[in-house]
Structure 1
Amino acid sequence: MDAPAVDAPAVDAPRRALGPVALVIASGLSVQFGASVAIMLMPRAGALGVVSLRLALAAVVMLAVCRPTLRGYSRADWGTVVAFGAAMGCMNILFYQSVDRIPLGAAVTLEVLGPLALSVIVSRRLVNLLWAVLALVGLVLLSGLATGGGGTDGGGLDRLDPVGAAYALGAGAMWAAYIVFSARTGRRFPQADGVALGMTVGALIALPLGIAESGAKLLAPSTLGLGLAVALMSSVLPYTLELLALRRMPAPTFAILMSLEPAIAATAGFLVLHQALSATDALAIALVIVASMGAVRTQIGPRRGPRAARGRAGRKAAAGGLPK
């Protein structure tokens, strides 16, 4: 008796589904482990020096790869890409100031609250109040207010450096602005041209600050080498992996997978930087992740259909902007 025929496409379907998922997870790992490398570089080049190296070197690579045209754009087009680049630059400056003071997982969790708030506001659905409450509970747990100071790092708000937490929340606000202007930039500039130009604007904003803080230290060969590694891991490689993933994955699935980044950041902080998490911290991060996933699903559920515009910036705006 002959063996039953096996439908090859049916067998290969799970593999095809796992491929883009692996690309998105690899992108998140690249971003957060790149942030870990950046933190290790900070004692040598300073937080502002590291962010200026990341943006400047990433801009050079993106400009070389994309070679965007500079002609044919209106004043409004340039105003949009400048606003996009300014939001990108400020977001990264504030985030790197944050991770210089508080653990990476906590910083990413606090930063995600900015896009989460934007998603809740844009959706205007009552169910999003649940996600907002979950995120707020996570924030309270992470700050230490709920425990009255239990934990190894001190009590109350002292569990997290308040300045570092404020920087992370500011980065989240800039991330929300980044989402708004990235969508507009994606409509005005083709492919990744807007990202390359916006990154150049962000680099021009960060470079004077980095030079003022670190000066000639930024030109040390080892510092430049690590800065290039951060630029490739945190910017260039994730853009490429996500672009490949979204060619084979719906934007809603992409957005939900990206909501795992606070957990990836906490893992990177533990493995690379030896930043341990308490059970309360892990619960807080989990609550924010669930809130992010819920807000994304609520926003995109009623309007599933065409895939989001390509490019990291356009994808975040189309998929609710969660998370970085």
Structure 2
Amino acid sequence: MRRTLERPAAAGPAATVPPLPQARRLAGVAAMVGSGLSNQTGAAVGALAFPVLGPLGVVAVRQYVAALALLAVGRPRLRSFTWRQWWPVLLLAGVFGTMNLSLYSAVDRIGLGLAVTLEFLGPLAVALAASRRRLDAACALLAAAGVVVLMRPRPAADYTGMALGLVAACCWASYILLNRLVGRRIPGAQGAAAAATVSALAFLPVGVAVALRHTPTAGAVLCAVTAGLLSSAVPYLADLLTLRHVPAQTFGLFMSVNPVLAAMVGWVVLGQSLGGAEWSGIGAVVLANAVSIATTRT
């Protein structure tokens, strides 16, 4: 869901001077931090609307916002799409909606930190699946150990919420693979924009049903819209800036910190504290991904 934007034309003598490498790196790091915090803060703000709209209503609003943002960037020429281009777009749309719904439902049941950690197993599995290195096999075992710690039997365990987190992980893995396919068949961000639009249209009756069943308040709608902006539009644009200033490997390495950011935001915004065992499980998943990326030759 990322594309490279062309640099704007120079607008004067000062614009012809390229930025210093250090300044560019700092801009990239700032964009990465902003993207991660924006994404997780958006999810936390969306959770504030759960008592009124429920996860289903919040996801519906988020899909609408994501579609509007991606339509503005991608500007897809839908009438020119062939069936060979449409079918992966339709699959991507279904995965997109299911991923967000399962994640937000998991957040509602087990908290932001644990939900995002379980979801993060999806891209980690994709990264490790094609590898034949022993180190990556060790990383997979480390991540599995972290999951065992997170999902260990205990009286307060919510296995439905954990299962939803794993569904989100499967959807994220499918999302990555489908995005690659769509990117090969449709130029730019047109495919992602088309998928987001189809997903938003599918959620239109859902939004209407939620609004008729539970009268939405202005505060809840504002939280849901904010979640869509912070978790969709802002990270998308920030990632475009990031990938212009930092290597893809560095970007992937930073992405592995998202479960930690989610746990911290969940604690600050939602008051969702975690115990030592949960932090150990999150740390194992993060470390497994970080080691795998940091030792990959590019």
Deviations 1:33-78 (A, max 9, x none): 0000011111110110100110112212322343221233221101
The alpha-carbon deviation at position 169 of structure 1 amounts to 0.4
Instruction: Look up the equivalent residue of 2:263 and give its one-letter code.
Output: A
Q: Does 1:99 align with 2:107?
A: yes
Gaps of 5+ in 1: 1-8, 146-155, 305-324
Q: Residues 32 and 265 of structure 1 are in contact (CA less than 8 Å); yes or no, is this contact kept in structure 2? A: yes
* Secondary structure in 1 matching 2:48: helix
1:187 aligned residue (184, 188, 196) = 184
Deviates more, 1:53-62 or 1:78-87: 53-62
CA distance in 1: counterparts of 2:126 and 2:215, whole angstroms: 36
CA distance in 1: counterparts of 2:97 and 2:84, whole angstroms: 20
1:15 aligned residue (10, 14, 23) = 23
Match of 2:84 in 1: 76
Q: Residues 52 and 217 of structure 2 are in contact (CA less than 8 Å); yes or no, is this contact kept in structure 1? A: no
Q: Residues 49 and 223 of structure 2 are in contact (CA less than 8 Å); yes or no, is this contact kept in structure 1? A: yes
Alignment CA distance shift 1:219-1:57 (3 Å): farther
CA distance in 2: counterparts of 1:74 and 1:85, whole angstroms: 16
Q: Does 1:59 align with 2:56?
A: no
Q: How much is the aligned-residue C-alpha RMSD, in angstroms?
A: 2.0
Instruction: Look up the equivalent residue of 1:234 and give its one-letter code.
Output: S
Instruction: Look up the equivalent residue of 1:134 and give its one-letter code.
Output: L
Instruction: Look up the equivalent residue of 2:290 and give its one-letter code.
Output: M
Alignment CA distance shift 1:168-1:214 (3 Å): farther
CA distance in 2: counterparts of 1:159 and 1:119, whole angstroms: 32
Match of 2:248 in 1: 251
Q: Does 1:25 align with 2:22?
A: no
The alpha-carbon deviation at position 218 of structure 1 amounts to 6.7
CA distance in 2: counterparts of 1:173 and 1:260, whole angstroms: 19
Gaps of 5+ in 2: 1-16
Match of 1:266 in 2: 263
Q: Residues 20 and 245 of structure 1 are in contact (CA less than 8 Å); yes or no, is this contact kept in structure 2? A: yes
Q: Residues 48 and 223 of structure 2 are in contact (CA less than 8 Å); yes or no, is this contact kept in structure 1? A: no
The alpha-carbon deviation at position 213 of structure 1 amounts to 4.2
Alignment CA distance shift 1:121-1:281 (3 Å): same
Structure with more relative contact order (C-alpha pairs < 8 Å, separation 6 or more): 2
Match of 2:7 in 1: none
Match of 2:219 in 1: 222
Instruction: Look up the equivalent residue of 1:278 and give its one-letter code.
Output: G
Q: Residues 138 and 285 of structure 1 are in contact (CA less than 8 Å); yes or no, is this contact kept in structure 2? A: yes
How many residues are matched?
A: 281
Q: Residues 42 and 227 of structure 2 are in contact (CA less than 8 Å); yes or no, is this contact kept in structure 1? A: yes
TM-score (norm 1): 0.81
* Secondary structure in 1 matching 2:49: helix
Residue identity over aligned pairs, in percent, reads: 39
Deviates more, 1:127-136 or 1:61-70: 61-70
Match of 1:318 in 2: none
The alpha-carbon deviation at position 157 of structure 1 amounts to 4.1
TM-score (norm 2): 0.88
2:144 aligned residue (136, 145, 150) = 136
Aligned pairs for 1:1-324 (under 5 A) are 12-143=20-151, 145=152, 156-215=153-212, 217=214, 220-298=217-295, 301-302=296-297, 304=298
Q: Residues 93 and 206 of structure 1 are in contact (CA less than 8 Å); yes or no, is this contact kept in structure 2? A: no
CA distance in 2: counterparts of 1:230 and 1:206, whole angstroms: 16
* Secondary structure in 2 matching 1:215: helix
CA distance in 2: counterparts of 1:220 and 1:16, whole angstroms: 43
Deviations 1:86-126 (A, max 9, x none): 11111111111101101100011111112212221122333
CA distance in 2: counterparts of 1:66 and 1:217, whole angstroms: 34
Instruction: Look up the equivalent residue of 1:265 and give its one-letter code.
Output: A
CA distance in 2: counterparts of 1:82 and 1:18, whole angstroms: 38
CA distance in 1: counterparts of 2:49 and 2:100, whole angstroms: 15
CA distance in 1: counterparts of 2:146 and 2:48, whole angstroms: 27
* Secondary structure in 2 matching 1:127: helix
CA distance in 1: counterparts of 2:215 and 2:92, whole angstroms: 26
Q: Residues 118 and 169 of structure 2 are in contact (CA less than 8 Å); yes or no, is this contact kept in structure 1? A: yes
CA distance in 1: counterparts of 2:23 and 2:161, whole angstroms: 42
Deviations 1:179-207 (A, max 9, x none): 00011111222222222111112223334
CA distance in 2: counterparts of 1:206 and 1:296, whole angstroms: 36
CA distance in 1: counterparts of 2:156 and 2:126, whole angstroms: 27
Alignment CA distance shift 1:215-1:294 (3 Å): farther
Alignment CA distance shift 1:40-1:219 (3 Å): closer
